[in-house]
Amino acid sequence: MGAERRADPRADVNLEVRYRSTHDFMLAYAKNISGGGICIRTAKPLPLNSEVQLRFSLPGFPTPFEVKGLVVWTNPFGGQTAFPTGMGIKFLEMSPDDKKVIDDFVRAELAKSRPTPASVEAAGPEA
């Protein structure tokens, strides 16, 4: 396996995402998100280098995000590769405030999934 090349940490999510290319308007679910992009689960990914307009909401944030993105990888085949079924979209145009909100959301989600020293102690030694 190669080294991780992502500049931004990502969090696993199950978010409804509406996206529009030049011709179609679609609905799917995101698998993960970072301040730099989003992974959308779909059996019919858009072609590489397609520009898309995304609309999604994060839990706890009432205002939806509307972001322009670019399809940077696709995988319609699922378990046959290291990539999940779907497509990766890099955010192209996003306000610094929106990026900060997403970065803060990702950090909070990652903190929830990491055990704290107290919870590790409480679990006791492994059998």
Domain ranges for the chain:
10-97
The string of pLDDT tens digits covering residues 3-43 is 445 578 889 899 999 998 877 789 999 999 999 999 999 98
The string of pLDDT tens digits covering residues 84-101 is 789 999 999 899 999 999
CA distance 87 to 103: 20
Fold held by 10-97: Thrombin, subunit H (2.40.10)
For 38-73, the three-class secondary structure string (H helix, E strand, C coil) is EEEECCCCCCCCCEEEEEECCCCCCCCEEEEEEEEE
CA distance 60 to 58: 6
The string of pLDDT tens digits covering residues 41-81 is 998 899 999 999 999 999 988 889 999 999 999 988 766 66
